[in-house]
Chain A
Amino acid sequence: MNELLQYDGSFNGFLTAVFDVYAHKLKNPIIQKTSLAQDQLFGEMQTIITDQDKADRVFKKLKKLCGSNDFNQFYRAFLSEISGIENTLLDYCRITFKNGTSPSGDYGNITVLKMSQAAKMVGREKHRMEAFIRFHLIEEDVYYANCEPDFNVLPLISKHFKNRYADQKWIIYDLNRDYGISYDLEKVDEVTIQFNDPRAQRGIMNTGVVEESRFRESENNYRDLWNQYFKSTNIESRKNMKLHLQHVPKRYWKYLSEKVA
C-alpha cells in the first residue's frame, strides 16, 4: 500500500518530507503538494509540516554528496513542479545516500535522465524570462513587469536582474503563482501584492483593452518606439512565422511590448 505525504509545495517542505521518509522508514511513499489533493486513492495520508531543521539536515547532506552542479539540477528539477517530480527526486536522494555520492552523469539511469530533463526545461524557462520580461516605468519610479512562467523560475532569475539593474527599483510579478520579487536598490525580497484587478493590474497585457492612461506619456512613447524598431528590423523577404513562433511561443505574447497589436 502506498502512503501519501502531502506537503505545502515549498522546497523546504519537500526536504522535510524526504526526512520523514527516512525517519519512518516508509517503503513506497508518494510525495505530493497539498493543493493536488488526490487522497481518496490512497489508504493512508499524512500531512508534512515544514520543519526548517529537518529540511536543513537533508539539504546539507545532499549538497555535500552532490556538489553544487548536481544540486543545482536537483533544485531546478524541483522548481519544474512537474507532476511526480517529487518521487523522481526522492529516488535521486536514495541513490545518492546509498552510494555516498550522486549518480552524476549516469544518463542511462531513468531517474538521472528524468531529473536532468526537468532541470533543462526549467533552465530554458529561466532563460526565456530573462529575455521576455518587459519593464514598465510606473508612477513611483519603479520598473514593473508581470509574467506567467511555465515553471516557478523567479528564485532563479533574481540574481540576474539584480546585477543588471542595480540602479533602478524593479518588481517582477508571477501572476500564476501570485508572488513576486522586488528590488529596492539594496536587496531582493519576495512580495505579494493585493491587486484590485487581479490579472491585469499595472503590468501591460496586450490582449483586451490596454488603458493607455495607466502610463505616463514618455512611457507610452518608449513602448511605441520599441514597437517601431521591432517592425523596422524585420526583413519581409525572409519572413518565416513558423520559426518565429518556435522562438516566441504565443503564450508569452501578452506581456511583450513589441507584440501590442
Chain B
Amino acid sequence: MNHERIKEKLEILADAAKYDVSCSSSGSKRQNKNKGLGDSTGMGICHSYTEDGRCVSLLKILLTNVCIFDCAYCVTRKSNDIKRAAFTVQEVVDLTINFYRRNYIEGLFLSSGIFKSPDATMERLVRVAKKLREEENFNGYIHLKSIPGASDELMREAGLYADRLSVNIEIPTKAGLKLLAPDKDHKDFIQPMKAVKNSIDLYKSEKKIIKSTPVYAPAGQSTQMIVGATGESDRDVMYSANFFYNKFNMKRVYYSGYIPVADDSRLPALGTEVPMMRENRLYQTDWLLRFYGFDVREILNDQHQNLDMDIDPKLSWALRNLDQFPVDINKADKRMLARIPGVGMKSVHKIISARRYRKLGWEHLKAIGISMNRGKYFITCDSREFERRDLTGIQIKNQILLSGASKYSKNFTNQLSLF
C-alpha cells in the first residue's frame, strides 16, 4: 500500500463527503458472530468530535468524487474545478477494518459521485459492503448511500449488507430542486425510498415465518435536507420531514444549513454565513415531533411559518398556548409534563417516579434538574410560592431572555442538549 497516495485520496474523499451531516451509527441489531470483528448492537459511539463540534463515529468518505451531474449546491459537481480521486474497493475495505480495529470508528459511511451511471456506481458501493461482510466477517456498522436512479434490484442487494440506507432529498421543495439540480428528478429520490421501505416491510414479515431470513437494513433509512439554499420556510422543511417520517418510516431526517460552495447566482453568495441557529431550531422541532408527542401543525402553520430564532420551539409553542398552563407537577399526565418549557423527557420520567413518594416542591424540581429559568412560569407544585399569573406571553418571554441571556447567546449545534 502506497501510504502517501492513500493519504492524498483520503484527504480529497473525506473532504468531499463531510457535507453529509448524518452520523448516527445506532439502531442496528448486528451481533458479533463466529468470533468475528465488530458488534453493532449498542447505541452507537461518537469516537471523536471535529473542531466544528460534530460527532465522528463513522469513516465517512466518497468512493469517488468524479461525477457526471452538475447539482449547483454540491462541491463534487462536474463543473467544479477540483482535484478528483477514486478509491479501489480493497482500499476502502482495508481502511475500514484497520480503523475499526484501533477503535477509531463504529463503521463505514460510504457515498459516491455518480461516475458512469447510477447502476455502475451503486454496484461498486454494494461490492465494498459485501466484501466487508463476507470476506472480513465484519459486524460493524455500514451505511450506504443510495444513488438516485439506481435499480431496485441493486437497492435490494445493498440492504442485505448495509445497516442503513439513505438517499438525500437535498432540497426540501420540488421547485427548489428543479432550480438547482435540473438533471435530477424528484421521483429519483422517492423511488429508492419506496424500494427500501418495501423491502424492509417484506423482510420483516418473512422473518416472522422463516427464522433464517437475513436482516435487511436493520437500522432503517434516513435522509438529509439542505436548508437555506432556496428560500423555503421552516414550515416547508418540517412538513417535508413529517411526510418522510410517516410515509417511509424514516429513522432520521437530518437538516444541514447550506454551506456556500459555489459562486452561482441561484444560490446564496460565497461567504454567506451558515444558518446554524436555524438548523438547531429545526432539530429541536424534529425532537418535539419524535419524542415529545407534538403534531407538526401545532408548531408550524399558516400563522406561524417560521421558527423563532431567539427562543426554542417548545417555549414558543407554550407562549402561544398559555391557556394550557400552569401545569400541576404533582398531577399532570406525561404528555402535559413533556410540554412544559425547561422540562426534558428525562426529567419527566424522574418527576413521575419521584412523586410516587411525596409531593414535589420547587426544591425537588431544582434538584431533579429542571431549568427553572423557563419552567417556573408554567408550573404549580407543592408550594405556596408561585410566579405571578397575570403576565402576558411577551412579558414572560422578555423575563426569560433577560434572566438567561448567556444561554441564548451561546453557540449552537445539532448535538442536542435540549429543553
Contact = CB atoms under 8 A, between A and B. Distances in A.
B353 interface: yes
B45 A228 contact: no
Nearest to B41: A163
Interface residues of B, number: 59
A228 B46 contact: no
B7 A225 contact: yes
A105 B411 contact: no
A235 B101 contact: no
Nearest to A258: B48
Contact of A232 (B11, B47, B49, B259): B11
B52 A239 contact: yes
26 contacts: A105-B353, A106-B356, A107-B368, A130-B45, A137-B101, A160-B42, A164-B38, A164-B39, A165-B37, A165-B103, A166-B39, A168-B101, A185-B35, A225-B7, A225-B95, A229-B10, A229-B59, A233-B14, A233-B50, A234-B18, A237-B259, A238-B54, A243-B411, A247-B55, A248-B49, A258-B48
Nearest to B272: A237
A60 to B, nearest CB: 26
A246 B366 CA distance: 23
Which among A226, A233, A244, A256 has the highest number of chain B CB atoms within 10 Å? A233
A165 to B, nearest CB: 7
Contact of B357 (A106, A234, A240, A256): A106
A85 interface: no
A105 B350 CA distance: 7
Nearest to B104: A226
A107 B354 contact: yes
Interface in A180-210: 185
B367 interface: yes
Interface in B209-264: 259
**Which 8 A/B pairs are nearest by Cβ-Cβ distance?**
A105-B353, A243-B53, A238-B52, A232-B14, A247-B49, A107-B354, A234-B50, A166-B35
A240 B52 CA distance: 5
Interface residues of A, number: 55
Interface of A: 103-109, 113, 127, 130-137, 143, 145, 160, 163-168, 185, 221-222, 224-226, 228-244, 246-248, 256-258
B82 to A, nearest CB: 13
B396 interface: no
Contact of A107 (B51, B52, B364, B413): B364
Given A113-B367, A166-B32, A233-B15, 19 more contacts: A107-B354, A107-B368, A108-B360, A130-B45, A133-B103, A143-B101, A163-B31, A163-B32, A166-B39, A167-B137, A225-B7, A228-B10, A230-B56, A232-B11, A235-B54, A239-B51, A240-B413, A241-B51, A247-B49
